[in-house]
Amino acid sequence: MFAYILKRLIYAIPIALSVTVVSFVLVYLAPGDPLNAIAPADAPEEVIQALKSAYGLDKPVPVQYGLWLMRAVQGDLGLSIASGREVTAEVLSAVSNTLLLAGMAAAIGVVLGCILGALAGYRHGTWIDKAATALSVVGVSIPHYWLGLVLTILFSIWLPWFPAMGAGPGGSGEWLWDLEHLRYLVLPALTLSVIPMGIITRTVRALVADMLGQEFVTALRARGLSGGAVFRHVAKNTAPTVLAVAGLQIGYLMGGSILVETVFAWPGTGFLLNTAIFQRDIPLLQGTILVLCMFFVVLNLLVDILQPLIDPRMGRS
Partner 1 sequence: MSAPLVSIQDLTVQFHGARRASALNQVSLELGQGEVLGLLGESGSGKSVTLRTLLRLHPERHTRTAGRIRVDGQDVLALRGRELDRYRGGTVSMVFQEPGLAFDPVYTIGQQISEAVRVHEGVDQATAAARALAMLERVQIPQARRRFDAYPHELSGGMRQRAMIALALACKPKLLLADEPTTALDATVQIQILLLLRELQRETGMSVIFVTHDIGAAVEVADRIAVMYAGRIVEQGPVGQLVHQPCHPYTRGLLAATVGHEHRGRPLEAIPGSPPDLAALPPGCSFAPRCSHASERCHRDIPPLEQQGARTLACWHPVRLLGEAA
Binding site for partner 1 (CB under 8 A): 214-216, 218-226, 229, 233, 236-237, 310-313
Q: Return the number of the residue (127 or 223) whose C-beta is nearest partner 1.
A: 223
Contacts of 292 (CB under 8 A, 6+ apart): 254, 255, 269, 273
Rounded-to-integer distance, Cα 153 and Cα 312, Å: 49
| DSSP-based helix, strand, coil % in the chain, nearest 5 | 75, 0, 25
Provide the minimum distance between the beta carbon of 28 and partner 1 in the complex, in angstroms, as a whole number: 48
In contact, 156 and 242? CB cutoff 8 Å: no
Comparing CB distances to partner 1, the nearer of 201 and 237 is 237
Distance, CA of 277 to CA of 282 (rounded, Å): 8
- By C-beta, is 124 or 183 nearer to partner 1? 124
Q: How many residues does this entry show for the chain?
A: 317
**Residue closer to partner 1, measured from CB, 1 or 89:** 1
Q: For partner 1, give the closer residue by CB, 141 or 313.
A: 313
Residue 132 phi, psi (nearest 5): -65, -40
Q: Find out whether 236 and 310 touch, Cβ atoms under 8 Å.
A: yes
Query: What's the closest the beta carbon of residue 2 comes to partner 1, in angstroms?
Result: 19
Q: What single DSSP character describes residue 89? A: H
Q: In one letter, which amino acid is 281?
A: D
For residue 233, the minimal CB distance to partner 1 (Å) is 5
Give the Cα separation of 273 and 266 in Å (integer).
12
Residue 237 or 249 having the CB closest to partner 1: 237
DSSP 3-state of 86: strand
Minimal distance, residue 118 CB to partner 1, in Å:
17
